[in-house]
Chain A
Amino acid sequence: MHSIAGEDYFITPAAEKRITELASRYQNEPEQLMNILLDIQKETANSFPRSVAALVSRVTGIPEAKLYGFVSFYSMFSTKPRGRYVVRMCHSAPCHVCGAQGVMEAISKTLGIKPGETTRDGRFTLEYCQCLGVCENAPAIMVNETVYRNLTPGRAATLMEDYQRGDMKEC
């Protein structure tokens, strides 16, 4: 279980060990930073809060401010804790003209949260995102790293219910 409490993220000793391991892969090769930080984020409630940045900073020697500047720039990172499943609805024009809004409403209703919110049980975060690059199969969403294509409001609601029941393998 991820502990989601308040604005920050409490690092368990096990998580600390894992983050330290991952961060130690950084050997002053800047081109590796993105991949390393993305891997770390998977360990920490799909987010990169300040406590994690501080720890990574101690291990890598990269200033905390620089890490914050980095993760706050890229949409794949979040400085606020997110749910175990991050549901991202494409907000770009090709999905928009193919009925994305209806799909978003169905997901929002099924999960009981609005875009930008996380369910109370910490399982789902709902977000708008920009183009997922599956325009030929619009409208589309991404749940963690899995893309779902050609959605209708009905199919999207069913899919969310499958996740809620735990029928979907964690991805």
Chain B
Amino acid sequence: MLSETRIVLRNLGRIDPVSVQDYQKQGGYGPLRKALSMKTEEVIAEMKRSGLRGRGGAGFPVWKKWSFTASAQSGQKYVICNADEGEPGTNKDRVILSGDPNSVFEGMAIAAYAVGADRGFLYLRREYPYVAPILDQALENARAEGCLGKNILGSSFSFDIEVISGGGAYVCGEETALIESIEGRRGEPRFKPPYPGVSGLYGRPTVVNNVETLANVPVILQRGGEWFSGIGVPNCTGTKVFTLCGNITQKGVFEYPMGTNLRDIYETHGGVKDNFDLRGFMLGGQSGNLINAGQMDLSMDIDSCQQAESVLGTGTIMVIDDRNDILDIVQNIMSFFIEESCGKCTPCREGNIRILEILRRISGGEGRMEDLTLLEDLAGMMNVACLCGLGQNSSVAVITSLHNFREVYVKAIERGRRA
């Protein structure tokens, strides 16, 4: 049985989310005060020592992102909190924001100080309209206490945060699409480079960090990067907030050190429900991978997952029991990407549709063995040719299910042949 290591979720259920006083009683805004007494380079150096990597899926080192923006010359810089949590099977950011919004605001303020920004945006997905009033109230209280706004905590540093609503588009989780959306346009990803760190919102240097990433920042400042780097595994430090969903007995949001074994998480939370059998997992969301029940001895950290042709992503663990058909799930996933493709680049706009056609052909008994190669080719092409992460990863579920559940495809094709 595992027990949680709560860093990000440190205050969850222990404070009134909108009360800045409650947050301060738990040590909140002390780290910001500490940061303001440090040189900006020292703040970034502390982040480097911590080894913190982005928690939104890509795992980019946070200190590097910050240092790009810090060294960019501009009179105006921005910090954006990416709260467009669209990855199906992930709802950790909603839990963090509605349970402890100040931890995210404080992380944003520390980032802003480190890079020299004075304006912040929190891009909240429209599917969470009920979180917005919590954020608005918490912001108002934090300003009244001098923790945000002009001359924060009596210093010469000023920074404020505005909540911006999303419009219901998965692709806006991609940072340049998110920026396009804040700029009042369709959320279509930009060509990179330039990266937002140098040229982001309104062409200005912009740090874009995920909710969970930012909630880690105050604790790192408070307890030190070295302490943080002792949690988790080398090169992937700290904890991960996992969303457990699907056919598992105990669903919910749980925080474990990076590198925790998937089997231990699965067993701690009661395994599959109602005496069904485990068929497999969808890890990292719908842009993540499908693994079978025999593959669950997996270290849940960014690098180990990658080495195992898997993905940690946003920390989704969706359990699939034997009532479900893998081919049906893969088709569901492809319909999602057809719906959510922004249409800007052809490989994604067309490729997802063609993949679903082939999948339907196979499950409808019209498949051929050559289709399996065709699927691999098409998915491989999209992975290299698509502009953004959406298209590059939309067929990961197809590829990984072809590898990890190949018999399902072969059976469907053979069944069709006999008929």
Contact = CB atoms under 8 A, between A and B. Distances in A.
Given A93-B88, A98-B247, A129 B168 contact: yes
A130 B336 contact: yes
Given A97-B320, A97-B329, A135-B88, A130 B339 contact: yes
A94 interface: yes
B324 interface: yes
Determine which residue in B184, B318, B336 has the highest number of CB atoms from chain A within 10 A of its CB, and name it. B184
B126 A131 contact: no
Given A30-B183, A142-B127, A92 B169 contact: no
Interface string B273-312: 0000000001000100000000000000000000000000
A106 B185 CA distance: 37
A98 B244 CA distance: 13
A92 B164 contact: no
A31 B89 contact: no
Contacts of A133: 85-86, 90-91, 94, 125, 127-128
A35 interface: yes
Given A31-B182, A70-B185, A130-B336, A92 B286 contact: yes
B108 interface: no
B130 A35 contact: no
A84 interface: no
A75 B167 contact: yes
Contacts of A75: 167-169
Interface string B145-187: 0000000000000000010111111100000000001111111
Contacts of A132: 127
Interface string A67-95: 00110011111000000000000011110
Contacts of B91: 133-136
A147 interface: yes
Given A74-B168, A145-B130, A33 B90 contact: no
A34 B282 contact: no
Nearest to A137: B251
B372 to A, nearest CB: 22
B249 to A, nearest CB: 12
Interface string A40-84: 000000000000000000000000000001100111110000000
B164 A130 contact: no
Contacts of A74: 126, 166-169, 187
A93 B129 contact: no
Contacts of A91: 332, 335-336
Interface in B179-213: 181-187
A86 to B, nearest CB: 11
Nearest to B330: A93
Given A75-B168, A94-B318, A34 B94 contact: no
A119 to B, nearest CB: 22
Contacts of B336: 91-93, 130
Contact of B329 (A69, A77, A93, A135): A93
B193 to A, nearest CB: 23
A79 B167 CA distance: 14
B329 A96 contact: yes
Interface of A: 30-35, 38, 69-70, 73-77, 91-94, 96-98, 129-138, 142, 145-147
21 contacts: A30-B182, A32-B184, A70-B185, A77-B167, A92-B286, A93-B88, A94-B318, A97-B247, A97-B318, A97-B324, A129-B127, A130-B170, A131-B170, A133-B85, A135-B90, A135-B251, A136-B244, A136-B251, A136-B253, A138-B245, A138-B251
Given A93-B329, A133-B94, 9 more contacts: A31-B162, A31-B182, A74-B187, A76-B168, A91-B336, A97-B247, A97-B324, A133-B91, A135-B318
Sorted nearest first, the 7 A-B pairs with minimum C-beta distance are: A74-B167, A30-B184, A92-B88, A75-B168, A33-B184, A131-B88, A76-B168
